[in-house]
Amino acid sequence: MMASRTRTLQSLIRLRKTEVDEAKSTLAQALANEEAARQHLESLQASIAAEQRAASAGQTSMDDFRRWLPTGQQAVTRAAEALHSVKAVSDQARDALMQVNAALKATESILEKRVEEEKTTRSRREQAEIDDLTPHVRRNAH
């Protein structure tokens, strides 16, 4: 018979595995958001470079470029700040995943020890029963 403590630990492990799955999902979403923010920032930076090349090549006026540049730079600054924010969320999600993984491993370790203890106790009980029966068998054999 499985002890209630063991059943409780098994339930806790199922809960921990669910937490790990949720943390993995959260991290995956955070990393996707981070990648999107990185691509947006790179796109804005590339736009500034392209506008600068166009102005240098005479395709647009330098005055137009100078008037537009502060707006482009502000967009890059906002995108860099957004990237920084989503990186912080990714870091938090990564930390949370590490914590729930550690909790799962600890719970699994406790369960393994508990199962081993139950096995040892069962073996001792069986041996004690055998030892109790042995004198009766010897007496009956004579």
Q: Is residue 1 part of a domain?
A: no
Query: Residue 43 is part of which domain span?
Result: 8-141
Query: The domain spanning residue 115 has which CATH number?
Result: 1.10.287.1700
Q: Is residue 3 part of a domain?
A: no
Rounded to an integer, the average pLDDT of 79-91 is: 98
Q: Is residue 37 part of a domain?
A: yes
Residue matched to tokens 């796109």: 43
Q: 141 pLDDT band (50/70/90 cuts)?
A: low
Least confident of 73-82, 85-94, 120-129: 120-129
Q: Is residue 2 part of a domain?
A: no
For the stretch 94-133, pLDDT in tens is: 999 999 999 999 999 999 999 998 899 889 998 888 888 8
Query: Which is higher by pLDDT, 9 or 140?
Result: 9
